[in-house]
Amino acid sequence: KPRPLGGSETGGAAALPIWIKYMATALRGMPDVEPVVPDGVLALRIDPVTGVRADNDEDGVYEYFYHENPPPEVEFDLPSLFGDGDSAPDAQLGQAQKLFQPDITIPAKPSPAKPNEAPAKPAENIIRNPLGSY
């Protein structure tokens, strides 16, 4: 008769130990074999931060692509952004600020309550009694 696994149990977690034991018996004595990349497929390292091809000296994760659809090679124009001597420092700073600092308008501080007005309810009152009358 089927019965529930419990509130925090899943089928995959419950079945994994059984599967590991089964496969250990089934594969006993078999040599380890590295998977071979099929013809027509490229294995390329991709920088997980930028999503572009990683250089040979960079860390990256392997992704697989068909020869017909490799990822584009992207070149970043960092010298012009951080200074190569050809552009004015002010222009470089403006370009860097646009890149790293989004346009954000900070709202003005609220004006203090007038003497004849009741102060706003503190947030802690709302948390303690969310359905109370205000």
Tens-digit pLDDT profile for residues 4-17: 877 888 888 888 99
In the predicted structure, residue 97 carries a pLDDT above the cut 80: no
- Residue of higher predicted confidence among 42 and 88: 42
Query: pLDDT at position 23, please?
Result: 95
Secondary structure (DSSP) of the chain: ------TT--HHHHHHHHHHHHHHHHTTTPPP-PPPPPTTEEEEEE-TTT-SBPPTTS--EEEEEETTSPPPP----HHHHH--SSS-HHHHHHHHHHHHS---PPPPPPPPPPTTSPPPPPHHHHHH-TTS--
pTM: 0.35
Banded model confidence at residue 18, pLDDT cuts 50, 70, 90: very high
Pairing mode, strands 61-66 and 41-46: antiparallel
- Do 42 and 70 meet the contact criterion of CB atoms below 8 Å apart? yes
- Confidence class for position 49, pLDDT limits 50, 70, 90: confident
Average pLDDT of the residues in 120-128: 57
The single-letter code of the amino acid at 85 is G
20-24, 64-68, 90-94: least confident range: 90-94
Considering just the CA atoms, what is the radius of gyration of the chain in Å?
30
pLDDT for 67 beyond 60: yes
Residue 45 has pLDDT above 80, yes or no: yes
